[in-house]
Amino acid sequence: MTNKAIGIDIGGTGIKGALVNTSTGTLIGDRVRYDTPAGGQPAEIAKVVKRILGEIPGVKSRYPVGICFPAVVKNGITMSAANISKEWIGLDAEGLFDSTLGRSVRVINDADAAGEAEVKFGAGHNKKGLVIMTTLGTGIGTALLMDGSLVPNAELGHLEIDGVDYETKAAFSAKEREGLSFAEWAKRLQKYYSTLDALFSPNLIIVGGGVSKQHAEFLPLIKLNCPIVPATKRNNAGILGAATYASRHFRDTKH
Ligand code: BGC
């Protein structure tokens, strides 16, 4: 069994991929990135993924391929679609990628992939009990990890608080859209994370997403009953987690 796998991270704006050493949690060689095709249609996205796979240096056909995606993913079927075409809802995404790429792939929710990467190689490494991974971006992605094991598809970014889907208030996109200062945004994050804390009593909360590199601006303002820390794998967490997930659930166990 190889310790190399390919991770591909599909987002609303970009699709990026790289070869990963799944023992060390590091990228081997350069990342390849393309913009997400306008509209985010399945066939268009699958074509870009194929191009990326063809351009990642050092790829061999025997390496597992993991793809992470901003949707609930159950048995390889995408059950929702955030910031991407609604055509993904109910689609056999693994089947689509298998046939477009001519090889077997695994598809996982993007926040679940980031959570896998952080507990295996990053801020959640060796942490006991419940770790909640969160990603602050266009939406809020969440992953529940108990003693390092993933409980998939948590979707806690859509918790209803004050009568609204709170992702629309506390995601990084809301800060941008409404021109909120870090202090103003942190008040909303306080409300969001206090709710998570009250409902789940986690041992640790990890905050990822591009904005987490500015964690010093907002994390110290959030007071909880558990530690809240920045992710360490940031932009590569999806790629690392998708690759790791694929190598654990390789073809032999798929059908
Ligand atoms: C989606 C999740 C996704 C998150 C981050 C949310 O809107 O419902 O499936 O993980 O955005 O992309």
Output the domain CATH number for residue 148: 3.30.420.40
Domain coverage including residue 47: 4-112+236-248
Ligand 1 pocket test: pick from 86, 108, 110, 164 the residue with the most ligand atoms within 8 Å of its Cβ.
110
Task: Quote the pLDDT of residue 60.
Answer: 86
DSSP 190: H
Cα–Cα dist 227/158, whole Å: 22
Confirm whether 117 is domain-assigned.
no
Q: Which two tokens stand for residue 152?
A: 């998939």
Ligand 1 atom 10: residue of nearest CA? 141
Which of 45, 66, 227, 228 lies closest to 136, judged by CA? 228
Ligand 1 atom 5: residue of nearest CA? 141
Ligand 1 pocket test: pick from 67, 77, 116, 155 the residue with the most ligand atoms within 8 Å of its Cβ.
155
Q: What is the pTM of this model?
A: 0.96
* Strands annotated E in the chain: 4-10, 14-21, 26-35, 65-69, 73-74, 77-78, 91-92, 105-109, 130-136, 140-146, 149-151, 160-161, 164-165, 204-208, 228-230
The one-letter code for the residue type at 161 is: I
Cα–Cα dist 52/50, whole Å: 5
Question: Binning pLDDT at 50, 70 and 90, where does residue 236 land?
Answer: very high
Q: How far is the CA of 139 from the centre of ligand 1 (A)?
A: 6
Q: Is the pLDDT reported for residue 253 higher than 60?
A: no
Atom of ligand 1 nearest to the CA of 109: 10
Confirm whether 242 is domain-assigned.
yes
Q: What distance lies between CA 121 and its chain's CA centroid?
A: 15
Task: Quote the pLDDT of residue 83.
Answer: 76
Same domain, 143 and 155: yes
Confirm whether 85 is domain-assigned.
yes
Same domain, 242 and 216: no
Task: Quote the pLDDT of residue 1.
Answer: 62
Please give the tally of structural domains in the chain: 2
Same domain, 210 and 150: yes
Cα–Cα dist 19/242, whole Å: 11
Q: How far is the CA of 224 from the centre of ligand 1 (A)?
A: 23
Atom of ligand 1 nearest to the CA of 110: 10
Question: Binning pLDDT at 50, 70 and 90, where does residue 252 land?
Answer: very low
Cα–Cα dist 99/94, whole Å: 9
Owner of token pair 């390889």:
76
Confirm whether 254 is domain-assigned.
no
Q: Packing angle between helix 93-101 and helix 42-55, nearest 10 degrees?
A: 50
Same domain, 44 and 107: yes
Same domain, 134 and 98: no
Ligand 1 atom 9: residue of nearest CA? 71
Instruction: Please write the tens of the pLDDT for every residue from 130-180.
Output: 999 999 999 999 999 999 999 999 999 999 999 999 999 999 999 999 999
